Structure 1
Amino acid sequence: MRSAYKAVWGVLCLLFLAVPAVSSAESYDGSQFLLSWSESPSHSQTITWHSPSRREGYVQYNKSGDELSGQHQVKAEITDVGETGYYRYEAVLKGLSHNTTYDYRVGNGAEWSQIRTFTTAPDPETWEEKSETSFDFLYLGDVQYRNRNRDYGEWGKLLQDIRERNPGIAFALIGGDMVNSSRKMKDWNLFLDNASSVFSYIPMMPAIGNHETSVKADPYLQMLALPENGPQDLEEEFYSFDYGNCHIIVLNTCFLLDNRKASMAEEWDEKLHEIRIWMEEDLRKSNAKWKLAVLHHPPYGISNGDSVYEWIRQEWEPILEKGEIDLALCGHQHIYMRTKEIGGITYVIGNSGKRRSTYYNGENAPAYTKALDAVNSNYQIIRVEKDRLSLLSYDEKGQIIDRWSKEKHEKGILKGAIAGLIFAPVMIAGIAAAVRRKKRP
């Protein structure tokens, strides 16, 4: 009996040893990891994620290759989005070194996700001193689907293809309409599931589209972590940030929609005034060489009949022009379109999803249109250099459908060159006269 017992025990031990041990290193149930910036892109990184179990959440981080431990660890804040039982975690890593790659993982203190990486932005104070420095970033217009399950999967594949074709992109801007219904968690889950494969490595900075809002964009504001440097009570709806020699201002055009105006009554006019003051101050204070704006509704598109377009042109376009915006990235009309330069600004409409324009009939492109593609899903890669800003627009197969660039040289150099052109003939004439006088007997 004892020998039989030993035999059974021996078999159980062998079976136990044959079963692979579950490592706590990658057993955390978190998902939908997103990077963004809520503070300085050069010295911080904001990380958000989802976990179905409401437990404490942490991020461990260190310079790439160094050990991850509790020595460099930040505790996350938890939000129950819409009180639906969907928990979103947010942690901000501060005091980071600029232009440095970090490893990070998230977990509950005992179980951890796989290790991912991010790279902080260059120091904007010294970026201009490096004449060979440049960076690329991605712009995506509306993600909004026709068939939810199919189209989000295809968009996620497109996103991965983009990163494989452009491994050096530093961050991404999205022009709104990431979902079809702001309050449907199924939409948000599918978007975040597909976005995470890329945006857990590079930051995603979005604008609010009309499909992210029903009067106000509550789920959007609860789930995403963005800079809080906008007008009072409108933080994260309006914000700005710097990357290298580029200043980017993000505007919520849905504030100008009739339902928002009606819900705010008299306060709406006051807040509109505050937005104008904030925009003017934000752009005036920036010394960046290049300035870009992101806004969901285009002030110049295929159709301009809606009142929101008129509001943008009336209230915000003069400020953008005075603030020397070079490029405005838009969405909403489900088409690719680039305008000629209007008031110093080139407007681009992107469309990364599967919906197609109901505004364009094949013949009604406005006179200010310089490029148009109504057939393909598309994305834009913007390259920022010291004296040049350029955009390449691609279809979903990675073929170029449009290109644009703008050069802007140092004002001092230009003034010197102009002065040289003006005064060179005078100097030459003076030298010639002196030579003639010297030759006289």
Structure 2
Amino acid sequence: MLTMIKGPYLQWPTEESMTFMWETSKPATSRVEVMRAERIHSGYQGNYKQPEQILASAENSGYSLIHQLTVSGLEPGTIYFYKVYSQNEQEAAEAGPFPFKTAMLPGEPFSFTVTSETGGYSGFDITGGEINNSIFAQMKKYRPDFSLFIGDIVNDRTNYADWDQYFFSPGKELLQDTPSFSCLGNHENGGSWYYDFFAFTAPKNYYSFDYGDAHFIALDSTDFINNDTYPASSGKFQAGNAQYDFLVQDLQNTSAKWKIVYFHYSPYVSGGYQVEALRALCPLLEQHSVDLVLSSHTIVYERSYPLRSGRLDFKDGIVYVVAGGAGAMPEWLLPKREWFTSQSLAVPHFLQVAVTPQQLEIRAIDHQGALFDKFSIFKDMDGAKKYI
């Protein structure tokens, strides 16, 4: 029987396009239809009627297992619905309609969620995956415009079943209407499935994108700190390294109001698995006024004070947040906090981040929905910051 065994799920939102992906149980064709979302006073889905009018479509008549189609020509910050179809000579399968929203224009507020370690925590998880299910469900309640996953989505990069067990299955309802971005963790590093299942721009292990007033940069810290040198530097923090050169050029070329960088290994955490060698990136990030760095690896929550040049700086500092989310390892924390630590707690969690032209608001929420930390960065028209 032809079935959709992963997805459909959303990838790479832009102001005028969306990419749709899914996997079928057998090789089949691909087709996606995008439909107008018509508001009503009550009814089908979030006060939208059952969609009927097809506005745009894309298809591939070739047979494949993993399907990827992009529909363009859409309006920014607009809700649509979509349906996907696959068929071979004997059978057909379809899914939808599901809603989605194109990316916001600069000047428009938006929000996103952040978590990690959905697979990396699996060896310690005595709940049998209940934490993952809870975190995905809690994130969906916040109706984010997209979600970030800061590595270790799976436990074993070479195990195909891990991708469904730790990510696509518990995240099904979130991922079908919420685009996702991720970066490589040490549990994915060296595996091919990461490159097959995601539609990031090449080379996929590092990339950047704009959304509203923010510029996001995903880095591959497992390349800067690879397995045979961990936790020391592999000597790639220099011109001539492809990823380092990309980072320099990307920071130079963006004029976004907010700059957010994310990668797996944590340069600042008052716990086990801190990778201090990654602090070699900090001067470059400071030079280009990065506002927020998100990392993981240590399975705890931790927020730093604003830091610059290895010191507290409440004028121009960068806030470093460890969002080791889908799990809790209190024994990985040091007995006492380090000098740079503002808040730290080992509980399963995710972040909910709201972005406006003037404010970056970050909330840390546990897997039961309780808020346990909150802070904001304010920025005026001249770029001056205020931290609360």
Query: How high is the TM-score relative to the length of structure 1?
Result: 0.74
> Does residue 259 of structure 2 align to residue 291 of structure 1?
yes
Question: Which protein has the bigger strand share?
Answer: 2
2:25 partner SS:
coil
Give the Cα separation in 1 of the matches to 2:269 and 2:352: 20
Partner of 1:341: 306
Contact 2:360 2:378 in 1 (8 A): yes
Name the structure 2 match of 1:302.
Answer: 270
Question: Conserved in 2, the CA contact under 8 Å of 1:155 and 1:352?
Answer: no
Q: Which residue of 1 aligns with 2:224?
A: 256
SS in 2 for 1:146: helix
Question: How far, CA to CA, are the matches of 1:149 and 1:100 in structure 2?
Answer: 41
3-state SS of 2:195 partner: helix
Task: Give the partner amino acid of 1:328.
Answer: V
Question: Letter of the aligned partner of 2:148 in structure 1?
Answer: L
Counting only pairs closer than 5 Å after superposition, residues 141-220 of structure 1 correspond to structure 2 as 141-143=116-118, 144=120, 145-146=122-123, 150-164=127-141, 166-167=142-143, 169-190=144-165, 191-213=167-189, 216-220=190-194
Which residue in 2 is equivalent to 1:325?
Answer: 290
Structure 2: runs of 5 or more not aligned? 39-50, 309-316
Specify the alignment match of 1:139 in structure 2: 114
Q: Do 1:352 and 1:378's aligned partners in 2 also have CA atoms closer than 8 Å?
A: yes
When residues 311 and 105 of structure 1 are mapped into structure 2, their CA distance, relative to the original with a 3 A threshold, is same
Task: Give 1:224 deviation, angstroms.
Answer: 1.4
Aligned pair partner of 1:385 in 339, 348, 356? 356
Q: 2:39 matched to 1:74?
A: no
Work out whether 1:106 is the aligned partner of 2:84. Answer: yes
Amino acid at match of 2:318: I
Contact 1:33 1:47 in 2 (8 A): no
Amino acid at match of 2:200: L
Matched-pair contact (CA < 8 Å) for 1:106–1:112: yes
Residues 103 and 211 of structure 2 are in contact (CA less than 8 Å); yes or no, is this contact kept in structure 1?
yes
CA distance in 1, matches of 2:214, 2:99: 23
Which structure's residues are more often helix, by fraction? 1
Mapped contact 2:239–2:245 kept (Cα < 8 A): no
SS at the partner of 2:268?
coil
Output the amino acid matched with 2:123: R
CA offsets 1:164-210 (integer angstroms, 9 cap, x no match): 2x13x111111111111101122111121111210110101011110
Give the gaps of 5 or more residues in structure 1: 1-26, 80-86, 128-132, 229-234, 415-441
Q: Any conservation in 1 of the 2:35–2:56 contact (CA below 8 Å)? A: no
Q: Secondary structure of 2:131's match?
A: helix
Counterpart CA distance in 2 for 1:272 and 1:173 is 29
How far apart are the structure 2 equivalents of 1:340 and 1:276? 26
Cross-structure match for 1:439:
none
Partner Cα separation in structure 2 for residue 105 and residue 47 of structure 1: 10
Identity %: 22
Distance between the aligned counterparts of 1:162 and 1:62, measured in 2? 26
Find out whether 1:227 has 2:212 as its counterpart.
no
- What does residue 360 of structure 1 align with? 333
CA deviation map 1:88-121 (0-9, x unaligned): 2211222222111111111125542131110001
Distance 1:304 1:162 in 2: 27
CA RMSD, aligned part only?
2.8
Task: Output the CA distance in 2 between the equivalents of 1:356 and 1:304.
Answer: 10
- 1:271–1:277 distance in 2 versus 1, CA, 3 Å: closer
Structure 2 residue 90 is the aligned partner of structure 1 residue 90 = no
Residue aligning to 1:432 = none
Is 1:51 the equivalent of 2:24? yes
- Partners of 2:5 and 2:25 within 8 A in 1: no
Q: Is the 8 A contact 2:28 2:62 kept in 1?
A: no
Name whichever of 393-402 and 202-211 sits farther off.
Answer: 393-402
Q: What amino acid does structure 1 have at the position aligned with 2:337? A: A
Q: Is the 8 A contact 1:74 1:93 kept in 2?
A: no
CA contact (8 A) 2:8 2:95 kept: no
Amino acid at match of 2:57: H
Q: Is residue 406 of structure 1 aligned with residue 377 of structure 2?
A: yes
Q: Across the two proteins, how many residue pairs are aligned to each other? A: 354
Q: Cα deviation per residue 1:241-273 (whole Å; 9 max; x = unaligned)? A: 1110011101110002343779xxx99688862
**Once the two structures are superposed, what CA deviation does each residue of 1:101-154 show, in whole Å capped at 9, x if it has no partner?**
111111125542131110001223xx2xxxxx4221101132132367954343
CA 1:111/1:396 → structure 2, altered by over 3 Å: closer, same or farther? closer
Quick check: which has more Rg, 1 or 2?
A: 1
User: 371, 377, 380: which one pairs with 2:343?
Assistant: 371
**Rounded Cα–Cα distance in structure 2 between residues aligned with 1:207 and 1:356:** 21
2:278 alignment counterpart: 312
Q: Are the counterparts in 2 of residues 78 and 88 from structure 1 also a CA contact under 8 Å?
A: no
